[in-house]
């Protein structure tokens, strides 16, 4: 976690507290060092900016990595739905791949 970058992001957030990119960037900075803080920012994004498609993959991965697969599954599914509605098929594909892998559906033919 880069403290100076995080401080700068919080200064920007003071100017625009509802900017989803800033919330996402803060969650990303916290991701490795403080998973609880990262989760709080991802949850804020999911609640207040549900069309910010980039959140779904990273939030679901965080839940998956902490053994909360039920929450990860819900977030992957909602992310796939939102990304389709937004016409973001690249995000949909990434979410679907991650979801399939988590569910054990990413097998390859021999």
In three-state secondary structure terms, 101 is helix
User: Mind listing the pLDDT tens digit of every residue in the chain (110 residues)?
Assistant: 667 899 999 999 999 999 999 999 999 999 988 999 999 999 999 999 999 999 999 999 999 999 999 999 999 999 999 999 999 999 999 999 999 999 998 766 55
Q: How many helices (H) and strands (E) does the chain have?
A: 6, 0
Q: For residue 46, what are the contacts with CB-CB under 8 A and spacing of at least 6?
A: 55, 56, 59, 75, 78
Per-residue pLDDT reduced to its tens digit, 30-51: 998 899 999 999 999 999 999 9
Q: The whole model's pTM is what?
A: 0.88
Domains of the chain: 3-102 (1.25.40.10)
Q: For residue 35, what are the contacts with CB-CB under 8 A and spacing of at least 6?
A: 62, 65, 66
């Amino acid at each position: 976690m880069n403290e100076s970058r995080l401080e700068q992001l919080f200064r920007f957030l003071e100017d625009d507290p509802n900017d989803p990119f800033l919330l996402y960037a803060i969650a990303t900075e916290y991701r490795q060092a403080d998973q609880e803080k990262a989760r709080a920012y991802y949850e804020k994004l999911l609640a207040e900016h549900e069309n910010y498609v980039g959140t779904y993959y990273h939030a679901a991965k965080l839940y998956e990595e902490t053994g909360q697969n039920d929450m990860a599954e819900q977030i992957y599914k909602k992310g796939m739905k939102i990304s389709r509605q937004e016409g973001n098929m690249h995000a949909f594909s990434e979410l679907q791949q991650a979801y399939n892998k988590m569910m054990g559906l990413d097998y390859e033919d021999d």
